[in-house]
Chains A and B, each alone.
Chain A
Amino acid sequence: MKFIDLDKWSEIFQSIQKHKLRTGLTALGVFWGIFMLVVLLGSGQGLQNAIELKFKSDAVNSIWLYGGTTSKEFNGLPKGRNITFDNEDYEVIGEQFPEIENLAGRVFLRGNLILKYKDKNLSFSVRGVHPDMIKIENAIIESGRFINDEDQRQRRKVAVIGSIVSKEVFEDEDPIGKEILIGSTAYTVVGLVLDVENDRSQREIFIPISVAQVVYQGNDDIANLAMITGDMKEEEVAELETGIKNLLASKHQFHPSDVRAIYINNRFEDYQSFQNLFLGIKSFLWFVGLGSILAGIVGVSNIMLIIVKDRTKEIGIRKALGATPRSIVSMILTEAIFITSMAGYIGLVAGIMLLSLMSGVKSEFFLNPEIHLGVGVAAILLLVIAGALAGLIPALQAAKINPIVAMRTD
């Protein structure tokens, strides 16, 4: 048998051309199935992208520690003492709990320091942080880099600025490498961060915590400590929380059950609920996707049944003229496969085109709708195979019926 049977294809093209309604209906079923799949899955992905971005910082499994005031007497010490963390706490926690993925401390510089650049005098809040804070805040580095361990160790005067700071101070200039004055100290801007959570975080300036402690505080106090607990389970997180609390209690001499001495904000539940939300969106998308594929399969199968029935007389005539059952089945299936794959392809392209139009839409709940090409292609394959299988059985039957009987049908 010839690999490409031109004669067979010209028969098929003629059949397609002359049966526009039949071809159109088959094509429409597949086109619509794939088109809807692409658009639904794509926009669902867009929704998910937007939500993920919006709640990204909340979607981190993290624990935040804040100093408080003791409310119980302990070991002869009175209540009402302020508990403040320091560098030693940071180091000890890091040593004793190696399971913590990222650990960072943060200090807030008092008052809003004036930032000077060229003729600009603006006021922003300045934070001293450890390098790992970028992971805990889950912010995105837009350009340059975040504070690193070298900056921290050598107390380099470097600053990472939020996007609003950059816009207001540098306007269209590239801020990276520029010198700014914060208060009376000069810093080199090394990075630009974007934290989509809220505007406030875009108005922040980050400097190494070691610099903040020396230059502005004159002590090694740390306002709060934060850590990422990765994909630890709920019990493990609770165990870690108790461990840290006991450690700090003995170091700072407060009663381990004193709930006011330090405050612990365990984000596990937030994290868990967002994981569940994402899972929910994902399952919904799969449900919708499989639903539209299933509808497509049912539609195509029905059309194939109708087509074979519609062609019974033609099949009878062809058989009377010397067509073998095999040539009949091959004719019907090749035509069906050709139409369904073309229609599926067009549906995929049309769906992707609509998605790219939709990605122009600016919305809080919609970002970069997209579909994995593999998913689209797999869906087309599924429909083509379903159509072929659905057509195969009636085609085999039709190819076997007595030509006289077949020709009598109308």
Chain B
Amino acid sequence: MAQTFSMIELKNIKKAYKTDFTNLQVLKGIDLDIEEGEFVSIMGSSGSGKSTLLNILGILDEYDSGKYTLAGQLMQNLSEKQAAYFRNRFIGFVFQSFNLLSFKTAVENVALPLYYQKINRIERLEKAMHYLEMVGLKEWANHHPNQLSGGQQQRVAIARALVTEPKVLLADEPTGALDSKTSSEVMDLFEDIHQAGKTVIIVTHELDIAQKTERIIRIQDGLILNREI
């Protein structure tokens, strides 16, 4: 590898959930470097702050202090409009609970992020169809989410995350709700995406899933535990 480019760079990221009575310090100073094209997994016990970290990476949540640089740009004090732009252009996010819109068909769900890029409907549906085909759901394009199995819904969600051709694909326990056979199909899909050159980061608490990635990042008590290649 001639040259590596840091896609994600975290410096001393801290995040606390404050309520009137409590101050729960979830992230206590995360330092992390993920290079372009890497395929990594984040592991840790329940409540260790994996989702919190991933949400910060996905610009869905804010952090209290530290520095987060995404593709060379500092993600700090973003306006709502800027945040929307980075979410739309830079990030593909796959949620554990899929978060598909139930009143839209599979293909319309996949096409939705392109709507916010002001791409016209025909082109949107064409692209969405392409990504649905890639996840093997071409025949299910016109089904609504409630007519699809969990694995199929997860694949629709992955297609939706990919349709904008983002720099980074983030997935929070993408196999958490799936059986082992479907899980490995979804993991094969992530492997393909990685092979296509994308940076892929998944959160999981299953070791066999994590072992399919290039690197496992362990998080404990709000800190990165160790680094292994």
Taking beta carbons and an 8 Å cutoff, which residues of A are in contact with B?
A: 6-7, 10-11, 14-15, 18-19, 313-314, 316-327, 399-400, 402-404, 407
Please measure, in the bound complex, the distance between the C-alpha atom of A407 and the C-alpha atom of B97, giving whole angstroms.
10
Taking a contact as CB atoms under 8 Å apart, the answer to whether B87 and A320 are in contact is: yes
Given contacts A7-B115, A7-B121, A324-B80, contact A402 B88 (CB under 8 A): no
Provide the residues of chain A in CB contact with B62, threshold 8 Å. 402
Question: B60 contacts which of A7, A318, A324, A402 (Cβ < 8 Å)?
Answer: A402
Chain A residue nearest in CB terms to B55: A404
Question: B121 contacts which of A10, A15, A314, A322 (Cβ < 8 Å)?
Answer: A10
Provide the residues of chain B in CB contact with A19, threshold 8 Å. 103
Please measure, in the bound complex, the distance between the C-alpha atom of A323 and the C-alpha atom of B115, giving whole angstroms.
9
Given contacts A15-B103, A404-B55, A407-B99, contact A322 B61 (CB under 8 A): no
Q: A18-B104, A320-B58 are in contact. List 15 more A-B contacts (CB 8 A).
A: A7-B118, A7-B120, A317-B101, A318-B112, A319-B84, A320-B93, A320-B95, A321-B88, A321-B112, A322-B84, A322-B113, A323-B84, A324-B116, A400-B80, A404-B60
Offer 16 A-B interface pairs, CB within 8 angstroms, sorted by A: A6-B121, A7-B118, A7-B120, A11-B115, A14-B104, A15-B103, A18-B103, A314-B101, A316-B99, A324-B84, A324-B116, A325-B80, A326-B81, A404-B55, A404-B60, A407-B95
Q: Does B211 contact A (CB under 8 A)?
A: no
Chain B residue nearest in CB terms to A17: B103
Please measure, in the bound complex, the distance between the C-alpha atom of A10 and the C-alpha atom of B115, giving whole angstroms.
11
Chain A residue nearest in CB terms to B144: A18
Q: For the complex of A and B, list the 6 residue pairs with the smallest distance between their C-beta atoms, beginning with the closest.
A: A322-B88, A18-B103, A322-B116, A324-B84, A321-B113, A322-B87
Given contacts A320-B60, A404-B61, contact A14 B80 (CB under 8 A): no
Please measure, in the bound complex, the distance between the C-alpha atom of A319 and the C-alpha atom of B116, giving whole angstroms.
10
Q: Does B5 contact A (CB under 8 A)?
A: no
Taking a contact as CB atoms under 8 Å apart, the answer to whether A14 and B116 are in contact is: no
Chain B residue nearest in CB terms to A314: B101
Q: What 0/1 pattern do residues 43 to 87 of B give for CB contact below 8 A with A?
A: 000000000000100101110000000000000000011001101
Provide the residues of chain B in CB contact with A402, threshold 8 Å. 60-62
Provide the residues of chain A in CB contact with B95, threshold 8 Å. 320, 407
Q: What 0/1 pattern do residues 101 to 113 of B give for CB contact below 8 A with A?
A: 1011000100011
Please measure, in the bound complex, the distance between the C-alpha atom of A328 and the C-alpha atom of B59, giving whole angstroms.
18
Question: B117 contacts which of A11, A14, A322 (Cβ < 8 Å)?
Answer: A322
Q: Does B15 contact A (CB under 8 A)?
A: no
Chain B residue nearest in CB terms to A319: B84
Please measure, in the bound complex, the distance between the C-alpha atom of A316 and the C-alpha atom of B55, giving whole angstroms.
13
Please measure, in the bound complex, the distance between the C-alpha atom of A19 and the C-alpha atom of B89, giving whole angstroms.
30
Provide the residues of chain A in CB contact with B155, threshold 8 Å. none
Provide the residues of chain B in CB contact with A313, threshold 8 Å. 99
A328 to chain B, nearest CB (A): 10
Please measure, in the bound complex, the distance between the C-alpha atom of A403 and the C-alpha atom of B95, giving whole angstroms.
12
Chain B residues touching A, range: 20 to 34
Please measure, in the bound complex, the distance between the C-alpha atom of A92 and the C-alpha atom of B99, giving whole angstroms.
95
Interface hub of B89, B93, B112 (most chain A Cβ within 10 A): B112
Provide the residues of chain B in CB contact with A314, threshold 8 Å. 101
Taking a contact as CB atoms under 8 Å apart, the answer to whether A322 and B103 are in contact is: no
Q: Does B198 contact A (CB under 8 A)?
A: no
Q: Does B160 contact A (CB under 8 A)?
A: yes
Taking a contact as CB atoms under 8 Å apart, the answer to whether B120 and A324 are in contact is: no
Please measure, in the bound complex, the distance between the C-alpha atom of A321 and the C-alpha atom of B113, giving whole angstroms.
5
Provide the residues of chain B in CB contact with A10, threshold 8 Å. 121
A73 to chain B, nearest CB (A): 100
Chain B residue nearest in CB terms to A402: B61
Chain A residue nearest in CB terms to B95: A407
Please measure, in the bound complex, the distance between the C-alpha atom of A234 and the C-alpha atom of B151, giving whole angstroms.
88
Provide the residues of chain B in CB contact with A320, threshold 8 Å. 58, 60, 87, 93, 95, 99
Please measure, in the bound complex, the distance between the C-alpha atom of A400 and the C-alpha atom of B80, giving whole angstroms.
8
B166 to chain A, nearest CB (A): 10
Chain A residue nearest in CB terms to B108: A14
Provide the residues of chain B in CB contact with A327, threshold 8 Å. 116
Please measure, in the bound complex, the distance between the C-alpha atom of A326 and the C-alpha atom of B79, giving whole angstroms.
12
B78 to chain A, nearest CB (A): 12
Please measure, in the bound complex, the distance between the C-alpha atom of A7 and the C-alpha atom of B88, giving whole angstroms.
18
Chain B residue nearest in CB terms to A5: B118
Please measure, in the bound complex, the distance between the C-alpha atom of A327 and the C-alpha atom of B58, giving whole angstroms.
20
Provide the residues of chain B in CB contact with A14, threshold 8 Å. 103-104, 108
Please measure, in the bound complex, the distance between the C-alpha atom of A72 and the C-alpha atom of B81, giving whole angstroms.
99
Provide the residues of chain B in CB contact with A400, threshold 8 Å. 80
Chain B residue nearest in CB terms to A317: B99
Please measure, in the bound complex, the distance between the C-alpha atom of A11 and the C-alpha atom of B111, giving whole angstroms.
12
Chain B residue nearest in CB terms to A11: B115
Please measure, in the bound complex, the distance between the C-alpha atom of A325 and the C-alpha atom of B85, giving whole angstroms.
11
Chain B residue nearest in CB terms to A7: B121
Please measure, in the bound complex, the distance between the C-alpha atom of A316 and the C-alpha atom of B115, giving whole angstroms.
16
B124 to chain A, nearest CB (A): 8
Provide the residues of chain B in CB contact with A325, threshold 8 Å. 80-81, 84
Interface residues of B in 6-62 (CB under 8 A from A): 55, 58, 60-62
Provide the residues of chain A in CB contact with B99, threshold 8 Å. 313, 316-317, 320, 407
A174 to chain B, nearest CB (A): 67
Provide the residues of chain A in CB contact with B55, threshold 8 Å. 404
Please measure, in the bound complex, the distance between the C-alpha atom of A318 and the C-alpha atom of B99, giving whole angstroms.
10
Provide the residues of chain B in CB contact with A399, threshold 8 Å. 80
A317 to chain B, nearest CB (A): 5
Provide the residues of chain A in CB contact with B100, threshold 8 Å. 317
Please measure, in the bound complex, the distance between the C-alpha atom of A320 and the C-alpha atom of B164, giving whole angstroms.
13
